[in-house]
Structure 1
Amino acid sequence: MGKVIYGMHTSIDGYIEDSGGGFGFLTPAEDVHQAANDQIRRASALLFGRRLYEMMEEPWTQQLGKEGAPAVEREFAELYKETPRYVFSDTLQSVPEGVTLVRREDAVPTVTRLKQEVDGNLEIGGPELAASMVDLIDEFWVYAFPVMIGGGKPFLPVGKELPLRLVEHRSFASGTMFLRYVRA
């Protein structure tokens, strides 16, 4: 059975974007990027909301083999392109080969089915998508960057309390903290 994991990079005060929609404060140092490579290497599928998909797809599929890119980024691009990707959207009309387009109304049934059919991690990206299926999420992974931004888009816009238990933590030389939680 698969495990659904929601993970994002955040400021230490819990935001994935600043109030202007920017996320430049979340540029990972090489050690954090390598951890992301290790994470995607264990992923059986990547599950994206439309906005995160659009942010990730073009840079990482075109980064593949790009001359001059750091080795850690080239490795991530190769792993990204090899991993099955699902995008949940009602506005996209088509996606490239290797990506499955799913209507938002079918998100919960699709992820429920994948969770039963897949052995491995199903990695959700995007706070609205994660909030829409929060009851299916097994683990929450936070990469907390050493910056406070005071407002913006929160890690998970859920209007209810979610008791969690910390099961792993790691600090990086760059000051970023990795926190892995399961439901309490």
Structure 2
Amino acid sequence: MGRVIYWMNTSIDGYIEDPEGGLDFPEPTEDFRQAANDHVRRTAAFLFGRRLYEAMEKPWTQDLGKEGAPPLEREFAQLYKETPRYVFSDTLQTVPEGVTLVRREDAASTVTRLKQESDGTFQLGGPELATSLVDLIDEFWVYAFPVILGGGKPYLPVGKQLRLHLAEHRGFASGITFRRYVRS
């Protein structure tokens, strides 16, 4: 059976964006970029909410695939394009080839089916989507950047307590820390 991993980059105070909707996180170092590439290499599919999908799609399918980008970013762009992507949205009407559009009301049944049909890992992104699918999430991954935002959009606005166990923790040269939690 497949596993769903909810992965988002956050500030150390737990926000994925500031109160104005911006991201002003420090530039990650090569060791962080390599870790991201290694994870994406093992990802069966991306499961995105609309806003995260829109933030990811153009930079990784058009902008960074160009020759001038650093090698690890070009590698990520290639891995991203090769990985199936599902976007859960009721507002998008069309998506490009390689992307599957799913209505939000069908999110739980689609993710349940994907987990049953695969032994792979599915990378879930987007706090609202994660909240709606919280009972299907197997692991919670937090890459905390060394910045305090003081407010904004939280990592997971779930509204209920989840008991987790820290399964892995490591730091990167840039001061970014990684924490991998599994359900207790």
- Deviation for aligned residue 1:31: 1.6
TM-score (norm 2): 0.97
Contact 1:8–1:142 at 8 Å: present in 2 too?
Answer: yes
Contact 1:4–1:138 at 8 Å: present in 2 too?
Answer: yes
In the alignment, does 2:114 pair up with 1:122?
no
Cα distance between partner residues in 2 of 1:22 and 1:33: 21
Aligned to 2:181: 181
Aligned to 2:99: 99
Secondary structure of residue in 2 paired with 1:68: coil
Unaligned runs of 5+ in 2: none
1:88-141 deviations in whole A, cap 9, x for unaligned? 000000000000000000000000000000111011000000000100000000
Cα distance between partner residues in 1 of 2:134 and 2:27: 26
Q: In structure 1, what residue type is equivalent to 2:67?
A: E
Aligned to 1:86: 86
In the alignment, does 2:109 pair up with 1:109?
yes
Cα distance between partner residues in 1 of 2:134 and 2:41: 24
Contact 2:51–2:126 at 8 Å: present in 1 too?
Answer: yes
Secondary structure of residue in 1 paired with 2:10: strand
Contact 1:11–1:26 at 8 Å: present in 2 too?
Answer: no
Cα distance between partner residues in 1 of 2:128 and 2:30: 28
Where has structure 1 moved over 6 Å in runs of 4 or more? none
1:120-177 deviations in whole A, cap 9, x for unaligned? 1011000000000100000000001111111000000010000100000111111110
Cα distance between partner residues in 1 of 2:122 and 2:43: 6
Contact 1:10–1:26 at 8 Å: present in 2 too?
Answer: no
Taking structure 1 as reference, are residues 5 and 47 closer, same or farther at Cα in structure 2, changes over 3 Å only? Answer: same
Aligned to 2:45: 45
Cα distance between partner residues in 1 of 2:6 and 2:149: 22
Cα distance between partner residues in 1 of 2:26 and 2:92: 27
Contact 1:9–1:26 at 8 Å: present in 2 too?
Answer: no
Taking structure 1 as reference, are residues 6 and 26 closer, same or farther at Cα in structure 2, changes over 3 Å only? Answer: farther
Cα distance between partner residues in 1 of 2:8 and 2:82: 20
The share of aligned pairs that are identical, in percent, is: 76
Q: In structure 2, what residue type is equivalent to 1:109?
A: S
Alignment of 1:16-55 (within 5 A): 16-25=16-25, 27-55=27-55
Aligned to 2:146: 146
Equivalences, count: 184
- Deviation for aligned residue 1:32: 1.1
- Deviation for aligned residue 1:63: 3.3
